């Protein structure tokens, strides 16, 4: 078996593992309700954490056998795998708009990643000053998005903003992973311990934010947002700090902008589809209606539409007519 074929297989299995983890996270969020960011007492959630770890390990292994220009676009298939898997195992089918948005986001992202960098380019070491400025800027952006998510009133928009914050955390974690890989040497294996701590903090933050993003927004919109924002942020840092470039010069830059617009259009489709679904569902159902507490008396005759209330109303009309 050729190394290229091994890389493709590992990339596809990695995407399936990420998709399965997202489905589990969404189900945990739907079952937990509330505002739990880390349902550590739920063993099912830890299964999602293990699936995410498996997806990351397979992704790294795929990069060892194949070029980045092949592995990264295949990773964008996560959202495409997640929708049929959710319908098959969780009984949650996506509509045409969700599918159209998912395909647009995947195609746009795959095209953008295929145009970023080249197989022969080697990443440059990131200086310490730029590294800590990047870390501080990431913390500020994630904090602003986190605050904005708690200001908006719509649960779907809040979930998409949290997913974007998770994507930023994961994307910068990928940047620090590349930095550690470039500067690591067998003679000093722990020389990059500060970058490893930052990487771990960003990965945990992204995991918790992505878990929160599935609350009240379904699967497709948050997953697509994380899937797109993560590599786009990493690619943007690579272009600005690592000296990477788009393929094919000016033509590649124009094509990358078009691919970015297609991916953004797919995210908009997924978000509007979820907003429309939330508007169609009733805000308050019969089971959400307030009920009397134990020991609280209820005047049945005072409730409109009940038989005692109608009898009292008829008697009042009769007395009024006689008088």
Write the DSSP assignment of 26-44 as a string of letters.
HHHHHHH-TT-S--TT-HH
DSSP letters for 191-203: TTHHHHHHHHHHH
Question: In this structure, what DSSP letter does residue 88 have?
Answer: I
Secondary element (H or E) of residue 81: helix 78-85
Of the candidates 22, 16, 21, the residue with the CA atom closest to the CA atom of residue 221 = 22
- Please state the φ and ψ torsions of residue 127, each to the nearest 5 degrees: -60, 155
Of the candidates 14, 23, 82, 40, the residue with the CA atom closest to the CA atom of residue 204 = 40
Q: pLDDT at position 284, please?
A: 38
Residue matched to tokens 């993560």 = 230
What is the Cα–Cα distance from 229 to 76, expressed in whole angstroms? 11
Q: pLDDT at position 293, please?
A: 40
Query: Rg for the chain (alpha carbons), in Å?
Result: 26
Q: pLDDT at position 249, please?
A: 78
Q: pLDDT at position 123, please?
A: 52
What is the Cα–Cα distance from 190 to 172, expressed in whole angstroms? 20
What is the Cα–Cα distance from 297 to 41, expressed in whole angstroms? 39
Contact 244, 117 (CB under 8 A): yes
Q: pLDDT at position 300, please?
A: 42
311-to-39, 200, 317, 319 alpha-carbon distances in Å: 53, 70, 10, 12
Contact 228, 167 (CB under 8 A): yes
Q: pLDDT at position 174, please?
A: 80
What is the Cα–Cα distance from 214 to 153, expressed in whole angstroms? 16
For the chain, residues with pLDDT lower than 70 are: 33-38, 67-70, 90-92, 94, 117-128, 181-191, 242-244, 275, 277-323
What is the Cα–Cα distance from 17 to 98, expressed in whole angstroms? 21
Q: Report if pTM > 0.85.
A: no
Q: pLDDT at position 168, please?
A: 93
């Amino acid at each position: 078996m050729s190394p290229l074929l091994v890389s493709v297989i590992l990339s596809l299995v990695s995407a399936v593992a990420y998709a399965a983890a997202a489905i589990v996270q969404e189900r945990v969020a739907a079952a937990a309700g509330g505002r739990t960011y880390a349902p550590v007492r739920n063993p099912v959630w830890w299964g999602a954490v293990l699936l995410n770890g498996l997806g990351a390990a397979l992704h790294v292994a795929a990069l060892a056998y194949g070029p980045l220009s092949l592995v990264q676009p295949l990773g964008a298939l996560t959202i495409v795998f997640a929708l049929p898997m959710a319908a098959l195992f969780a009984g949650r089918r996506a509509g045409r708009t969700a599918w159209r948005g998912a395909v647009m986001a995947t195609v746009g992202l795959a095209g953008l990643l295929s145009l970023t960098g080249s197989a022969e380019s080697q990443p440059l070491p990131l200086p310490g000053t730029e590294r800590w400025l990047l870390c501080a800027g990431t913390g500020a952006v994630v904090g602003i998005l986190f605050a904005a998510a708690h200001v908006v009133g719509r649960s779907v928009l809040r979930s998409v903003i949290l997913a974007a914050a998770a994507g930023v955390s994961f994307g910068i974690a990928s940047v620090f992973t590349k930095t550690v890989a470039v500067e690591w040497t067998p003679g000093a294996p722990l020389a990059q311990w500060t970058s490893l701590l930052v990487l771990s903090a960003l990965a945990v933050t992204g995991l918790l934010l992505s878990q929160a993003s599935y609350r009240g927004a379904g699967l497709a919109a948050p997953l697509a947002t994380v899937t797109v924002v993560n590599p786009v942020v990493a690619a943007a840092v690579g272009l600005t700090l690592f000296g990477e470039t788009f393929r094919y010069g000016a033509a590649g830059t124009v094509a990358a902008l078009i691919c970015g617009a297609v991916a953004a259009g797919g995210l908009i489709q997924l978000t509007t589809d979820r907003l429309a679904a939330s508007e169609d569902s009733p805000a308050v159902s019969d089971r959400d209606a307030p009920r009397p507490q134990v020991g609280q008396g209820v005047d049945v005759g005072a409730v409109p539409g009940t038989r005692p209330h109608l009898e009292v109303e008829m008697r009042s009309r009769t007395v009024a007519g006689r008088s």
